[in-house]
Amino acid sequence: MEKKKIFHNQSIRRTIFIYFTITALAASLLITFSIYGRLSSQVSQTVMEENQSLISQVARSVESYLRTVMKLSDSLYYGAVKNADLSSESINSEITLLYDNNRDDVANIALFSQDGALIEAVPAARIKTNLDVKSDSWFTNALDKTENQHFSDPHVQTIFDGNESQYQWVISLSRAVELTEGTSTAQGVLLVDLSYSSLAHLFNGVTTGSGGYVYLISSDGEILYHPKMQLIDSGRFMENNLAAAEYKDGNHLEEFEGTERIVTVKSVGYTGWKVVGVTPKNVVSLNTIKTRLFIIFIITLILFILTFINSYISSRITDPIKELEKSVGILEEGNLQTPVYIGGSYEIQHLGTSISNMAKQIRVLMNDIVTEHEAKRKQEFDTLQSQINPHFLYNTLDIIVWMIENEQKAEAVKVVTALARFFRISLSKGKSIIQVRDEIEHVRSYLMIQRMRFKNKFTYDIEVGEGCEELASLKLMLQPLVENAIYHGMEFMDGDGEVIIKSWREADDLFFLVCDNGLGMTEEQVASLFSDSIHTTSKKGSGIGVKNVNERIKLYFGEQYGLTIHSEPDVGTEIMIRLPAIPYSQIIAKGEQLWK
């Protein structure tokens, strides 16, 4: 539940970025490890092939070396020993010649009789005292298998005395030979001591990669050469040579002393020796520190590139959505006129177009609602203003009857004429906006009738500024204000009342002022005039209140126009009307219903 809440509060850009990055990273890691495994396998295979090639080359070098020695042995036997009569001639010169030609590889050449007696030795040397060579393995092996040439394990030369040969490591090649002495023949043994250093020279500098090495063993596993021979002799290094003797030629994976390694084996011809190459597994499997650091670097680089690409892609996807969101936010605040962002992919463009069309439709509907509401209110006001309070009409007709009965025909005619003008302007063919001239004439007729009714209890004065009569005014605007002044301001006052009506123009505004010297009102009473219900009526008047006049002005001309009332108790009341100074001809040209 918490996880859903966390992702619910994330922005779409961050959500896309996270999901895309995780997916791309997972795919990248999968590909990286797959390539790593495949590369590691290929590297292992390549290294093993290279090791096998290297070990085979070393084995060929050893074989070449042994063939050279065996050729020397053949040359000694067939060229010097076999055809020589040892009883009458010496073969020392032939042996010496062959020794000199191969002295880099050969330490000693000796010829023994079947009973172990030394016949020839090059370089000149003598057998150690009390030494019986017949018990040595090289001697017995040669006589046991006369058809073969036999190689011994590396050992310290122990046959001859001499400072030069003291403690010299050699490998002995021995073979049975036929010795001729006069008319008799007998078997003998030819011994060639090979210099161990010449064999070791074949392995110098030969390695199988970092930490790898190559060594030589006999068929039974005895170590013939090892780069760490001294450590092995001292017991500080162990080698798995006995197991290597059991391996067939090729690559083998083994674990020795807790370390995995690859062992490459190649057999040497003529001897059964084996050249063994050892390579640590971690070198082959790309598990070195440098390789791991390189892989980490590659993964980091891929992650950085993916992050950059994901950021760019998520921006391209979400920036149009964010711009569209801003536009929708402005629309939510009520500003339906703001242009809606349309951009990005086809879907977002389509969504932006739909929202723009929806905003337009909302504006149309709101305008229709406002227009309908204003039309309804205008109709209510027009219906209200078309109603004449029966008390006013009854009292006016009562005055006319009284004047006729008292033979005041001239006064009755004035009242009837004023009443006729009053009704004519009240109707005005259904118009709500009339000329200032007609509005002034309407209120003048009303004042004349009321003054006769109240028997000259008040006076009135009307002043119209120059150029104001042709301007537009709201019909039945002044009469309700004058009506209030008469009924509520002066009806119960002592002394004569006075009503003053003025009209003037200031720049683009038209002002009316209705003043009376009646009882006046408190601030609370003034405030209550604007809070009365729209249908609050006077039982004696026309039924149109001050609040209704103020709302009608604002409805037709705007909120900046309307009434301002200033009144003091026992002093009087002043009502200021502010309208726009609009020529009536402009209203006619535009149409009253289209105004505003």
Assigned domain for 234 exists: no
At 369-410, the pLDDT tens digits run: 777 776 666 665 555 554 555 556 766 777 788 778 777 778
Core vs surface per residue 551-565: b (16+ CB within 10 A) or e = bbbebbbeeebbbeb
CA angle 508, 510, 512 (to 5 degrees): 160
State the Cα angle at 251 between 247 and 255, rounded to 5°. 75
CATH code for position 96: 3.30.450.20
pLDDT at residue 394, as a whole number? 66
The answer to whether 320 and 341 are in contact (CB under 8 A) is: yes
Total structural domains in the chain? 2
Residue 330 covered by a domain: no
pLDDT tens digits, one per residue of 67-121: 888 898 898 888 888 888 887 778 888 888 888 888 888 888 999 988 888 888 8
* Start-to-end Cα distance in the chain: 56
For residue 354, is it within any domain? Answer: no
* HEC letters along 413-479: HHHHHHHHHHHHHHHHHHCCEEEHHHHHHHHHHHHHHHHHHCCCCEEEEEEECCCCCCEEEECCCHH
Task: Tell me, yes or no, whether 337 lies in a domain.
Answer: no
Q: Which residue has the higher pLDDT, 359 or 478?
A: 478
Domain span holding position 396: 386-594
Listed residues 133, 168, 199: the one ending a domain = 199
The whole-angstrom separation of Cα 233 and Cα 169 is: 15
Mean predicted confidence (pLDDT) in 198-221: 86
> Does some domain include residue 39?
no
What is the DSSP pairing of strand 497-506 with strand 458-464? parallel
Q: Using CA of residue 380, residue 382, residue 385, residue 388, what is the dihedral sign?
A: negative
Give me the half-sphere count of Cα atoms (radius 13 Å) on the Cβ side of residue 298. Answer: 13
Q: DSSP letter at 521?
A: -
Query: Cα(328)–Cα(326) distance, rounded to whole angstroms?
Result: 5
Residue where a domain terminates, one of 180, 199, 218: 199
Q: Which range has highest mean pLDDT (34-38, 157-161, 379-383)?
A: 157-161
- CA atoms of 226 and 216, how far apart (whole Å): 7
Judge whether 524 lies within some domain.
Answer: yes
- Give the predicted TM-score (pTM) of the model: 0.49
> Is 104 domain-assigned?
yes
The strand pairing partners of 280, in sequence order, are 261
Q: What CATH number is attached to the domain comprising 505?
A: 3.30.565.10
The domain boundary residue, chosen from 134, 165, 199: 199
Work out the pLDDT band at 535, boundaries 50, 70, 90. Answer: very low
Q: What is the per-residue pLDDT across 538-559, written as a single tens digit (0 to 9) for each?
A: 444 444 678 888 888 888 888 9
Exposure on the CB side of residue 313, measured as CA atoms within 13 A: 14
Of 26-40, 555-569, 573-587, least confident by mean pLDDT is: 26-40
Give the residues across from 499 on adjacent strands. 460, 516
CB 137 within 8 A of CB 170: no
Q: What's the Cα-to-Cα distance from 379 to each of 383, 385, 481, 559, rounded to whole Å?
A: 6, 10, 21, 19
- pLDDT tens, residue by residue, 247-290: 999 988 898 888 888 899 999 987 889 999 998 877 665 555 66
Query: Where do the DSSP E strands lie in 136-203?
Result: 149-151, 155-156, 160-161, 169-181, 184-195
CA distance 485 to 420: 23
* Residue 406 maps to a domain: yes
